[in-house]
Each structure stands twice: as structure tokens, then as C-alpha cells.
Structure 1
């Protein structure tokens, strides 16, 4: 590669298209299809390296477990990553068991991140027979891009200041609530309940 596309807040297909444009390569379906297969295969082949170099954030498992035990909560994934890549990451750190990944939305569903919110809401409505909208959908994210995705897409937002964007940046982006990290599962549960009542 001569140049690297900006990946911040982008879906995987958007990153590929931008990379192709930077290198004067025509954007066509064969590239995207091969990329989707190849990227997922690379992640799958390097699960051990991912486990060695990465980690689940402190409190993530406990928070997911607490929310999973609440029968009024449906937890899923909204990610710019491809579905297969998202699953490999979650499985590697044993977090997938707490999530209904069927009702999530991923980079291979739509290249515009805010539109993923409606896709996930529709999938949840279909599966659970209940409406999902701004009043009962919450996007939890650690970047101002995540907050913008939720706000634009039709959800409330909880900012978690464990990424490169701190508490003040997440608040300035319009997060409905912000926590410093995931270590207080009970407080996060309480905050989330307050956002939908």
C-alpha cells in the first residue's frame, strides 16, 4: 500500500473502498467479496495472537453478564467490523455468550454506520415481537464516532471513556451518559435503565 485510508469510525467496506480509491483501483464487487473472506480468514488464523496481544476491558464480562441476566434487556453488537470478524473477536475473549448476535448489525450489512442502528432495531423487532426505537435502544461506545452513530441512527448513547476519547469529549459529542470504564456493572445497569425510562 502506498497510502492508508482513514479507518476511524468507518465500516470495513468503506475502508476498503477508500483504500482502492487511494490506489487508483476501480471499486468492484470481486474486491469486496475477496476482502471479506480474506479478512475473516486472517483473523481466524491469528486468534492466538489476538488473545496474546488483546484483552477484554476490565469489567466487560461482569457488565455483560449482569445485563444478560436482566430479562428486559436484549444485548447485541453494532460494529463497523464484518460480522465474521466481530464474532471471532467476541469468541476469542469469551464474550459472545452474553449477546444475541443474530439481531446485531455489522459492516457487511451497510457501509454507513448510523444506518446500522435501524437494521439492528428491525432485526430485534422481528425476533422479539416488540418495537425498538430511540426510547429503548442504547448504543454503548468509547468514541465520539460511536456516539454520533447512536444519535444519528436513532438511539440513546452511553459513552465509556476507555478509548482515545475521554469523558469530556464523549459528553461534548452528545452522549446521554458517560462512565469512566466498565468496572461498576451495577452503576452501568442503573444508568442504562434510567435512559429507557
Structure 2
């Protein structure tokens, strides 16, 4: 059965231990000539939105996006060592990504608010990049709002991998924005309570399948398989979230 799996990165696949916010602060400082008045607000936002909000909050003109993207890429490159020493791949991630990559008919990639360069930095820091088809993922430079990234990934997968338009897609992520992106695009969603949001918050956002983490490879694959081979079934008032 064919399936598209789009994984979030931060707090779903890896723990960045604060390095992400340091990247945003460094990129901002390099462009503004001063430190930001507060940390970046992330929680599933795209890099386009995060950086724009930082400049507007500090009442500064927003630079052109290519300039911001270059600053983000440089800041991410400069902090690869910090990420390796302070961060980690979350429990079970290597195993489940490897298993998904070996499934016939599955395309396993990413849907992330990070720009592509920094997504690669974060994944390569822990040896995860080779387990994902990153060339067909969608990234923070592709759109400002997360739901728009779903169509970007689908189009790349159709064009570069020849996957038909009706193959189901499922997002795996840890925030209500991941849930929103899935539900608003008729995609499946597997919410993972490995970030700051509780299972109850993810259920309230509309997630139907909720996992505490990705540690149990067999269980994660079983949940993903439930989305394969058929269009996403619309939820009804009788449905209840499954917190596994």
C-alpha cells in the first residue's frame, strides 16, 4: 500500500535543547545589529513567520526574505557543533525512520518550519538525514503558514517520485499546528506528545491518533499503516482520540 509520511523535526524527531532559538537570535542580530528583545516564538511556526514576527515585535523593518534565509543558514551552520553536543535524536526515532524508509510504496520525508539548510543540519547532526527523502520535503522557506506546506510536499513527491495525487498522506508532529495542517488539507495526523503539548491539548486540537513518543517501532508502523491504501476517513462526532 502506498503512503506519504511527512515528519516534523523539532521535538518530534530531535530535541534541540534551545539551539533553535539561538539560531533565530543570531540571525536576527546579524541583520538588525542588536539582540532581539525576546526569544523567538516557535511551536510549529515556519521560519518565514518566526523571523517576520521578531522584526515586527522590535519595530524594525523586515528584510527581504532571501537575506533572512541566508542569515538563518549561516547561523544554523555555525551551531552544528552545539546541536551535536547538547541535542539528541528522540527515543526510537532512528529505528522507526529506518523501518519506514524500507517499506515498499512509502515515501518518508519531512514537513517542517525550518528552512531546508537548517533542517539538514538538525537531521545530519544525529545521522537521520540518510533515512529520509529530503529532496521532496517541504520547508520553512516554501510558505509562511504550515498548512500550505502540505501541497508543496505533495507536488514535489508527484513530480519527482511519480506518486499519484490520490495517495494518502499522514503528518507526524508534536504541536496543534501540525494537527491543523493535517486536518485543513484532508491529511492524516499522528500527534506525538514529545514536545511541550500534552495529549489532551493535541486531542483538543483535533488529533485522533496520539502517541506518547516514537519509541515503539512496531506500534508506530501499525498506526501509520492504518492510513495507507485509502483516503482519510472523515471524523464524526462519535470518534474519540486514541491515546496509546
- 2:194 — aligned with what? 162
Shift of 1:132: 3.9
Q: Secondary structure at the match of 2:191?
A: strand
Larger RCO: 1 or 2 (CA < 8 Å, sep 6+): 2
- 1:186 — aligned with what? 218
Runs of 4+ residues over 6 Å off in structure 1: none
Do residues 95 (structure 1) and 131 (structure 2) align?
no
- 1:151 — aligned with what? 183
CA distance in 2, matches of 1:188, 1:132: 24
CA contact (8 A) 2:80 2:121 kept: yes
Do residues 174 (structure 1) and 206 (structure 2) align?
yes
Do residues 111 (structure 1) and 144 (structure 2) align?
yes
Q: How does 1:120-131 map to 2 (within 5 A)?
A: 120-131=153-164
CA contact (8 A) 1:124 1:132 kept: no
Shift of 1:35: 2.2
Query: How many residues end up aligned between the 2 structures?
Result: 194
- 2:114 — aligned with what? 81
Do residues 44 (structure 1) and 66 (structure 2) align?
no
- 2:29 — aligned with what? none
Given candidates 19, 35, 60, the residue that maps to 1:25 is 60
Q: 1:33 to 1:128 in 2, by over 3 A?
A: closer
- 1:7 — aligned with what? 42
Decide which structure has greater helix share.
Answer: 1
CA contact (8 A) 2:43 2:175 kept: no
Q: Secondary structure at the match of 1:74?
A: strand
Deviates more, 1:55-64 or 1:163-172: 163-172
- Unaligned runs of 5+ residues in structure 1 are none
Shift of 1:73: 1.0
Q: Secondary structure at the match of 1:52?
A: helix
Residues 114-170 of structure 1 show CA distances to partners (whole Å, capped at 9, x for unaligned) of: 00000000110112222245x610000011121112212331100111111122222
- 1:139 — aligned with what? 171
CA distance in 2, matches of 1:138, 1:5: 28
Shift of 1:180: 1.2
Q: Secondary structure at the match of 1:153?
A: coil
CA contact (8 A) 1:116 1:153 kept: no
Shift of 1:174: 1.5
